[in-house]
């Protein structure tokens, strides 16, 4: 670990701190329909959209109607993506003449992009046409992010409003989110990325001569190994920048290329790397300010932010420490950081990012439910790889996915307020709303769905041949691979531990089911709580009210998240990464 | 002393309660009862599973008998300990109910026929609307309203207080309770309840917990605990496949042990005991809560409406000082004041007589020899007084006296006018005394604020509770007393309608309101308030409207009720936090023990250095069972409530029950492990 490394982590958190307020205020104004500087351009567009689709922008919905609208929207657009994937051969913008997708893969991918997971059991450059990438995948990157954001706004409204059952209009919120929040930033952001060297074109792939040909061993169909000299390489291209920016800003994570943000055309420079990481946390962090602003308790917003920041810092410190320490089994090699190399465990990492930016990126992408990667988590040390795994297991509430992070941490806020709130001798209250049995029931249901989906699918996979046959490393590492796959799917993260061969019938189907459960079955109970809270009166604050501001609350919230997560997953983790770490220290690697 | 009173003084041997609780402990093993408590039901199912496995092992001569037997036994103990906790909590109430039942025994009643004659029937035949005659030394056969006569009644069967109380027709002291005894005189009572629905019946049901329904917070907490139980069930059930994958499958004893240690058995086992004990603590203080919901609501109260008289001040206003006008002897004023008050039966009037007697040694005189004409107080004149021997003595409000003397032309002297204002400004009530149209001087009636009230209100404020004084006084007087007593606000010149309005206004703001009341005109407000405490001396209507009845009729008790409500919630929260925090240590005991055989490196997680895997698991299970027993006293007594602000209270309790909950089991499990090793049990 180096001073430069710590400085980069500190700088990153500081920049996130800086963008929180402006973005939070801007989103508040957008969703409260207050004036913004973009109104002269966007307001006419918005009105046109409503006129064309026959939407009454003044009409608000109850939570049930909102939820049905959201499910219908997601269902129809998911079917549309499936259709595009299955017919891309006959659709335009397919210079590589890529064929139609298999039904299993097409379904899995459609579920994955609709749920903001972006789990990819395929290589983008060899599977998806430019049309599918743009009209299918990038489209979902926008709308699934918008859905997440508007749902968190619904939760905030549920807390802030009183004695009403109206929580806003799904179509209006989504339209405004797309027009005001996502599109403008992505327009500017993609230009910044292009300036750094990210490509944006419709060209067919280019074959180039290598400056430095190399030889490689190739196993032929007859089983014989021959030595070949490679002199040419196919350079995949496409409309990358436009998709790259929403991949991070909407915490989607689905790479244009298989190598994701490790690919030089997606993430060419240290600056683009930093910029992409900032994009990932920007909205989730800003939403904590929106929460404070809309509920009239700015200090509560910051307390939630602080709880997230503490957990983020703990995660990145562990990952950085584990990766920088390197592997004890390679004691003979120089693993210390120096001016010439970054030291530590460099397996599966990009040289241009080094240890700290790989550890930081992996923490950021799994704290948020992004899933973009700039290194292979499978190649991290056992403890370094456990950090992304735990981050997702905690429910991705450390800043979290766009919207999903906020409504996810809302569940923990409800639980923390309920348990500890009793200890001040009153019926627990959250910002003036009494937390009662219905709210606790729904919050527990959300936690249960997460736990159930991860543990049950993993438990089946580890004892059935169709599950274990995909494992590439035996022992505890194999368990980590399977756990990671279902954790990432259920948490709608989409990053892969890699290593596990997931393009099989079993994994395509079960991960898709896990993604759908983890997205929609989480959302519905949370919306039910929001709907129930909105109906309640607001109890005025007094000296006897449970304080949801300040360090004590931030600490309580962070501990609740860690304890619930740790108690649920400790047994599984102890047989996976923890055991692997101990065995590695004892001299056994997998 | 009356038997019930004895019980309330806890003279019934605790051993009787314990032995009854032990019996209940086994009766409660019935799965149909257990299933109401999901956490302990899971433990019972686990215990059954290990028992079956144990029998199978024995019949197949399979190994691990000693370890399996001990685990199984301790699992059963865990269930029994939880049942015992509940039994203990119920015990006191049941004992009390038994004695109350004796008071309910059939009595003879003299029912009034329509022709005016009486017939003798047994009390169980009485119906609402019947009129009965009760004479001295008879039991009142049912709840009712005195419609004729006045009598002294011994209500110790209900209140435990042996001093007799007066019950009379009309007014606010007309309610009588079945099972109490008339000591003197004769009254006619209109029965207001049918058999089985009397106050005594309800009280019996309440104290023995027969109609105990889970309160809203308790339901919510139960859901949370059930949810946690399912999560841990998932964690343990899926651990077996992971263990099989890792090549270290576990046996049923170990898996059930892990599950039982993880699920929140501590709070699950004590939850209902805490609720019952909370109700019982109220009963100890002679307050009968009609529902647990009301007890819980009292912890949430934001505003306390306190009647000035009797709650904040001692009884009624009393005369404290005579202020003679210039040229008048103080003695003379006192004498005139006493004379004018001789026939005045109001508490104020009596206090004037008493003051004159105490200060100037003036005995009450017999005026019957004179040609005496007492002038009673009337709303028109707002004066009272006496005419005798040509003296016209009047006493009354300054305006009234001014009118009285102004008709002859003499005004109120200036210096007395100043005195009157002075008395008003300091919260007192000035009265003037005049004789033959000449002002003799002023009497100051003042309220005496009860000792220690200021501190109590200060504490309430720290707890976030606003106190509001309700009084019929004018705003000036009310403000002065409010300042003196340290209440936050006051409602002056309050009518029952004003009170009702005030409650509704506060509730509209989302606040919970508590109040006490005794009169029939208090009934609507008592019903409207979230916590309405009716005085037992009050009318039947008030008692019906409120959700609590204070048998001591002490309005100050509202403050204690609030504290008990808070204590109940704090105890639940504290033990839940403690229970969940305990799990951390149990993981560190059991997980390494489970897999140390297959993977010795996992011994690194054995931070407590427990001797063997078997003793580690057994120690965790034993700790888990014993902690229930250890915490029964805390559950029954309640976590001590401190009147602090929420933030300070939270910090304190998080430190004790959160951090303490993490640390305590590390020490406890290690200690048990050392002991087990020493005893060579495993």
Four-CA torsion B42, B47, B50, B51, nearest 10 degrees: -140
Residue among A424, A546, A575 whose CB faces B595 most closely: A575
- CA–CA distance, A481 with A474 (Å, rounded to integer): 10
B520 or A21, greater pLDDT: A21
- CA–CA distance, B158 with B284 (Å, rounded to integer): 12
Judged against a pLDDT cut of 60, whether residue B13 lies above it is answered with: no
What is the residue whose two structure tokens read 């430019």? A130
Supply B262's token pair. 């993880």
Residue among A540, A546, A567 whose CB faces B583 most closely: A567
What is the residue whose two structure tokens read 């691979």? A481
**Axis-axis angle for helices A382-393, A298-325 (nearest 10):** 160
- CA–CA distance, B558 with A20 (Å, rounded to integer): 47
> Do residues A331 and A195 lie in contact, with contact meaning Cβ atoms separated by under 8 Å?
no
Mention every residue, 6+ apart, whose C-beta is less than 8 A from residue B498.
B491
Residues 458-487 of A with CB under 8 A from B: 458-460, 462-463, 468, 475-476, 478-479
- CA–CA distance, A387 with A359 (Å, rounded to integer): 9
Put simply, the answer to whether A570 touches B591 (Cβ < 8 Å) is: yes
**ipTM reported for the complex, 2 dp:** 0.91
- CA distances to B113, B126, B130, B180 from B119, in Å: 7, 12, 12, 21
- CA–CA distance, B217 with B425 (Å, rounded to integer): 47
Enter the pTM of the model: 0.86
> Do residues A374 and A262 lie in contact, with contact meaning Cβ atoms separated by under 8 Å?
yes
Helix, strand or coil, per DSSP, at residue A491: coil
Mention every residue, 6+ apart, whose C-beta is less than 8 A from residue B484.
B427, B449
Query: What confidence tens digit (pLDDT) does each residue in B332-362 have?
Result: 888 888 888 877 777 778 888 888 888 887 7
Helix, strand or coil, per DSSP, at residue B26: helix
Among B213, B225, B231, pick the best mutation site for testing chain A contact (most A Cβ within 10 A).
B231
A540 vs B contacts (CB less than 8 Å) = 302, 509-511
* DSSP letter string, A526-566: HHHHHHHHHHSPPPPP-TTSPP-SHHHHHHHHHHHHHHHHH
**Can you tell me the mean pLDDT for A513-520?**
94
Give the distance from residue B21's alpha carbon to the nearest chain A alpha carbon, in angstroms: 28
Q: How many CB atoms lie within 10 A of CB B659?
A: 13
Put simply, the answer to whether B234 touches A452 (Cβ < 8 Å) is: yes
- CA–CA distance, B249 with B260 (Å, rounded to integer): 19
Confidence class for position A10, pLDDT limits 50, 70, 90: very high
Mention every residue, 6+ apart, whose C-beta is less than 8 A from residue B384.
B340, B341, B343, B344, B349, B374, B375, B376, B377, B394, B395, B396
- CA–CA distance, A458 with A461 (Å, rounded to integer): 5
> Do residues A528 and A409 lie in contact, with contact meaning Cβ atoms separated by under 8 Å?
no
- CA distances to A156, A416, B36, B366, B647 from A299, in Å: 15, 17, 41, 75, 15
B156 or A32, greater pLDDT: A32
**Axis-axis angle for helices A382-393, A354-367 (nearest 10):** 20
Helices vs. strands in chain B: H and E counts, helices first: 24, 22
For β-strands B108-112 and B131-135, DSSP reports them as: antiparallel
> Do residues A336 and A324 lie in contact, with contact meaning Cβ atoms separated by under 8 Å?
no
Which pLDDT belongs to residue A78? Answer: 95
Q: How many CB atoms lie within 10 A of CB B630?
A: 14
Among B38, B216, B217, pick the best mutation site for testing chain A contact (most A Cβ within 10 A).
B217
Helix, strand, coil shares of chain B, percent, nearest 5, are 55, 15, 30
Going across the sheet that includes B489-491, the strands are B287-289, B548-550, B531-535, B513-517, B303-307, B466-470, B489-491
| Closest residue by Cα to residue B445 from B524, B351, B563, B527 | B351
A463 vs B contacts (CB less than 8 Å) = 241, 244-245
Is some CB atom of chain B closer than 8 A to the CB atom of A11?
no
Q: How many CB atoms lie within 10 A of CB A484?
A: 30
Q: Check B143, B307, B522, B530 and give the catalytic one.
A: B307
Four-CA torsion B635, B641, B645, B646, nearest 10 degrees: 10
Confidence class for position A59, pLDDT limits 50, 70, 90: very high
Query: What confidence tens digit (pLDDT) does each residue in A82-91 have?
Result: 999 999 999 9
* A vs B: CB pairs below 8 A: 218
Residue A193: HSE in the Cβ half-sphere, 13 Å Cα cutoff = 33
Which pLDDT belongs to residue B12? Answer: 44
Is some CB atom of chain B closer than 8 A to the CB atom of A568?
yes
| Closest residue by Cα to residue B416 from B426, B424, B407, B408 | B424
Angle A272-A276-A277 (CA atoms, 0-180°, nearest 5)?
A: 120
A299 vs B contacts (CB less than 8 Å) = none
Stretch (H or E) spanning B270: helix B265-284
Which pLDDT belongs to residue B408? Answer: 55
- CA B316 and chain centroid, separation: 25
CB under 8 Å, gap of 24 or more: what pairs does B398-402 form? B398/B430, B398/B431, B398/B432, B398/B442, B401/B432, B401/B433, B401/B434, B401/B439, B402/B432
Confidence class for position B2, pLDDT limits 50, 70, 90: very low
Query: What confidence tens digit (pLDDT) does each residue in A189-247 have?
Result: 999 999 999 999 999 999 999 999 988 888 877 778 888 888 999 999 999 999 999 99
- CA B646 and chain centroid, separation: 21
Out of A117-121, A456-460, A560-564, B139-143, pick the least confident. B139-143
Helix, strand or coil, per DSSP, at residue A399: coil
Give the distance from residue B503's alpha carbon to the nearest chain A alpha carbon, in angstroms: 15
For residue A422, give the chain B residue with the closest CA: B573
DSSP E strands, B213-354: 287-289, 303-307, 318-324
Helix, strand or coil, per DSSP, at residue A216: strand
- Burial code (b: 16+ CB inside 10 Å, e: under 16) for A5-38 equals beebbeebbebbeebbbebbbbbbbbbeeeebeb
DSSP 8-state code for residue A337: -
- CA A164 and chain centroid, separation: 32
Query: What confidence tens digit (pLDDT) does each residue in B545-569 have?
Result: 888 888 887 777 888 888 888 999 9
The segment with the largest mean pLDDT, out of A64-73, B15-24, B493-502, is A64-73
Mention every residue, 6+ apart, whose C-beta is less than 8 A from residue B588.
B605, B606, B607, B608, B666
Which pLDDT belongs to residue B8? Answer: 47
Out of A55-69, B11-25, B137-151, B572-586, pick the least confident. B11-25
Judged against a pLDDT cut of 50, whether residue B9 lies above it is answered with: no
B595 vs A contacts (CB less than 8 Å) = 574-575, 579
| Closest residue by Cα to residue B76 from B47, B40, B41 | B47
Which pLDDT belongs to residue B209? Answer: 64
Supply A99's token pair. 């064929």
Which pLDDT belongs to residue B230? Answer: 95
Put simply, the answer to whether A540 touches B653 (Cβ < 8 Å) is: no
Task: Identify the burial level of B594 via C-beta atoms within 10 angstroms of its C-beta, where 0-12 means exposed, 13-18 middle and 19 or more buried.
Answer: buried
Mention every residue, 6+ apart, whose C-beta is less than 8 A from residue B311.
B516, B555, B556, B558
Supply A159's token pair. 């807390």
- CA–CA distance, A368 with A361 (Å, rounded to integer): 11
**Can you tell me the mean pLDDT for A298-310?**
96
Put simply, the answer to whether B231 touches A451 (Cβ < 8 Å) is: yes
**Can you tell me the mean pLDDT for A94-114?**
92
- CA–CA distance, B257 with B679 (Å, rounded to integer): 21
Helix, strand or coil, per DSSP, at residue A179: helix
DSSP E strands, B19-155: 108-112, 118-122, 131-135, 144-148, 150-154
- CA–CA distance, B329 with B332 (Å, rounded to integer): 5
Domain extent listing, chain A: 206-235, 402-585
- CA–CA distance, A456 with A467 (Å, rounded to integer): 13
DSSP 8-state code for residue A137: I
User: Is there a catalytic annotation at residue B30?
Assistant: no
What is the residue whose two structure tokens read 């210039």? B326
């Amino acid at each position: 670990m180096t001073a430069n490394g710590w400085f980069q982590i500190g700088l990153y958190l500081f920049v996130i701190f800086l963008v929180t307020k402006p973005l939070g205020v801007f989103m508040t104004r957008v969703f409260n329909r207050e004036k913004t500087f973009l109104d002269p351009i966007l307001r006419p567009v918005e009105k046109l959209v409503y006129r064309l689709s026959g939407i009454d922008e003044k009409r608000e919905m109850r939570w049930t109607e909102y939820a049905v609208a959201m499910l219908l929207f997601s269902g129809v657009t998911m079917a549309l993506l499936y259709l595009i994937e299955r017919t891309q051969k006959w659709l335009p913008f397919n210079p590589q003449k890529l064929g139609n997708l298999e039904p299993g893969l097409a379904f899995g991918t459609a579920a994955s992009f609709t749920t903001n997971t972006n789990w990819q059991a395929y290589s983008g450059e060899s599977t998806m046409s430019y049309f599918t990438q743009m009209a299918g995948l990038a489209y979902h990157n926008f709308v699934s992010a918008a859905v997440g954001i508007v749902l968190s706004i619904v939760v905030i409204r549920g807390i802030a409003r009183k004695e009403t059952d109206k929580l806003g209009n799904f179509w209006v919120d989504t339209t405004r989110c797309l027009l005001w929040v996502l599109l403008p930033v992505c327009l500017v952001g993609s230009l910044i990325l292009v300036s750094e060297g990210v490509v944006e074109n419709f060209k067919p792939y280019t074959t180039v001569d290598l400056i430095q040909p190399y030889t490689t061993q190739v196993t032929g169909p007859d089983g014989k190994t021959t030595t070949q000299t490679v002199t040419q390489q196919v350079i995949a291209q496409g409309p990358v920048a436009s998709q790259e920016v929403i991949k991070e800003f909407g915490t989607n994570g689905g790479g244009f290329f298989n190598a994701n943000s490790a690919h030089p055309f997606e993430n060419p420079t240290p600056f683009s790397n930093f910029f992409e990481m900032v994009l990932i946390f920007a909205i989730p962090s800003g939403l904590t300010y929106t929460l404070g602003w809309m509920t009239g308790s700015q200090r509560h917003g910051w307390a939630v932010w602080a709880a997230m920041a503490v957990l983020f810092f703990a995660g990145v410190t562990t990952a950085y420490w584990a990766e920088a320490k390197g592997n004890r089994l390679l004691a003979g090699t120089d693993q210390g950081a120096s001016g010439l190399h970054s030291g530590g465990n460099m397996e599966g990492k990009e040289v241009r990012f080094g240890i700290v930016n790989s550890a930081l990126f992996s923490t950021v992408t799994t704290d948020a439910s992004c899933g973009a990667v700039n290194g292979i988590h499978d190649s991290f040390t056992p403890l370094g790889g456990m950090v992304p795994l735990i981050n997702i297991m905690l429910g991705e509430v450390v800043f979290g996915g766009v919207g999903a992070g906020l409504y996810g941490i809302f569940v923990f806020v409800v639980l923390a307020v309920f348990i500890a709130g009793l200890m001040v001798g009153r019926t627990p209250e959250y910002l003036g709303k009494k937390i009662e049995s219905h709210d606790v029931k729904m919050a527990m249901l959300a936690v249960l769905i997460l736990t159930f989906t991860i543990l049950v699918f993993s438990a089946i996979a580890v004892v059935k041949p169709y599950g274990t046959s995909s494992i590439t490393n035996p022992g505890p590492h194999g368990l980590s691979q399977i756990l990671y796959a279902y954790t990432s799917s259920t948490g709608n993260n989409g990053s892969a531990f890699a290593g596990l061969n997931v393009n099989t019938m079993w994994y395509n189907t079960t991960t898709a089911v896990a993604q759908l459960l983890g997205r929609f079955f989480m959302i519905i109970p949370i919306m039910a709580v929001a709907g129930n809270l909105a109906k309640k009166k607001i109890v005025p604050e007094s000296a006897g009210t449970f304080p949801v501001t300040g360090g004590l609350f931030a600490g309580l919230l962070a501990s609740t998240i860690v304890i619930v997560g740790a108690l649920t997953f400790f047994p599984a983790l102890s047989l996976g990464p923890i055991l692997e770490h101990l065995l590695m220290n004892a001299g056994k690697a997998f | 002393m009356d038997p019930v009173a004895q019980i309330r003084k806890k003279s019934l041997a605790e051993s009787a309660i314990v032995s009854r609780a032990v019996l209940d402990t086994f009766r409660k093993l019935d799965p149909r009862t257990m299933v109401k408590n999901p956490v302990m039901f899971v433990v019972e199912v686990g215990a059954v599973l290990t028992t079956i496995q144990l029998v199978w092992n024995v019949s197949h001569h399979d190994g691990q008998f000693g370890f399996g037997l001990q685990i199984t036994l301790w699992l059963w103990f865990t269930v029994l300990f939880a049942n015992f906790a509940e039994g203990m909590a119920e015990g006191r109430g049941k004992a009390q109910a038994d004695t109350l039942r004796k008071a309910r025994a059939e009595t003879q009643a003299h029912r009034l026929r329509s022709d005016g004659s009486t017939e003798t029937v047994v009390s169980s035949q009485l119906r609402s609307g019947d009129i009965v005659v009760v004479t001295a030394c008879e039991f009142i056969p049912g709840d009712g309203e005195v419609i004729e006569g006045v009598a002294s009644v011994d209500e110790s069967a209900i209140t435990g207080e042996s001093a007799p109380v007066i019950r009379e027709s009309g007014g606010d002291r007309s309610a009588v309770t079945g099972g109490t005894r008339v000591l003197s005189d004769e009254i006619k009572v209109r029965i207001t309840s049918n058999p089985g629905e009397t106050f005594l019946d309800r009280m019996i049901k309440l104290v023995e917990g027969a109609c105990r329904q889970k309160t809203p917070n308790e339901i919510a907490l139960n859901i949370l605990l059930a949810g946690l139980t399912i999560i841990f069930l998932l964690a343990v059930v899926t651990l077996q496949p992971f263990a099989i994958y890792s090549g270290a499958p576990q046996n049923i004893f170990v898996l059930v042990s892990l599950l039982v240690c993880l699920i929140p058995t501590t709070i699950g086992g004590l939850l209902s005991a805490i609720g019952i004990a909370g109700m019982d603590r109220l009963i100890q203080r002679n307050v009968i809560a009609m529902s647990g919901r009301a007890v819980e609501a009292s912890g949430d109260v934001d505003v306390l409406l306190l009647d000035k008289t009797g709650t904040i001040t001692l009884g009624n206003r009393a005369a404290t000082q005579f202020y003679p006008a210039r040229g008048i002897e103080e003695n003379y004023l006192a004498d005139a004041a006493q004379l004018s008050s001789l026939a005045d039966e109001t508490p104020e009037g009596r206090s004037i007589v008493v003051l004159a007697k105490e200060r100037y040694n003036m005995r009450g005189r017999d005026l019957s020899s004179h040609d005496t004409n007492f002038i009673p107080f009337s709303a028109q004149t707002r004066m009272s007084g006496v005419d005798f021997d040509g003296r016209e003595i009047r006493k009354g409000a300054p305006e009234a006296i001014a009118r009285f003397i102004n008709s002859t032309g003499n005004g109120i002297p200036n210096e007395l006018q100043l005195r009157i204002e002075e008395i008003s400004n300091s919260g007192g009530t000035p009265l003037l005394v005049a004789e033959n149209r000449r002002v003799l001087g002023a009497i100051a009636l003042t309220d005496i604020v009860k000792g220690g009230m200021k501190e109590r209100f200060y504490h309430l404020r720290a707890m976030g509770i606003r106190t509001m004084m309700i009084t019929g006084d004018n705003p000036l007087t009310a403000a002065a007393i409010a300042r003196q007593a340290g209440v936050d606000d006051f409602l002056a010149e309050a009518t029952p309608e004003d009170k009702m309005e005030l409650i509704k206004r506060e509730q509209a703001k989302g606040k919970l309101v508590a109040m006490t009341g005794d009169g029939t005109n208090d009934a609507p407000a008592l019903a409207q308030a979230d916590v309405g405490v009716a005085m037992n001396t009050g009318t039947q209507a008030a008692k019906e409207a409120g959700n609590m009845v204070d048998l001591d009729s002490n309005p100050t008790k509202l403050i204690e009720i609030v504290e008990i409500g808070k204590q109940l919630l704090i105890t639940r929260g504290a033990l839940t936090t403690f229970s969940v925090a305990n799990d951390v240590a149990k993981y560190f005991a059991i997980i390494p023990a489970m897999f140390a055989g297959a993977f010795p490196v996992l011994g690194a997680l054995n931070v407590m250095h427990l001797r063997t895997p078997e003793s580690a698991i057994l120690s965790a299970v034993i700790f888990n069972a014993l902690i229930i027993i250890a915490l029964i006293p805390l559950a029954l007594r309640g976590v001590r409530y401190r009147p602090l602000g929420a933030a300070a209270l939270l910090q304190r309790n998080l430190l004790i029950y959160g951090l303490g909950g993490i640390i305590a089991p590390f020490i406890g499990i290690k200690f048990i492990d050392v002991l087990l090793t020493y005893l060579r049990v495993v």
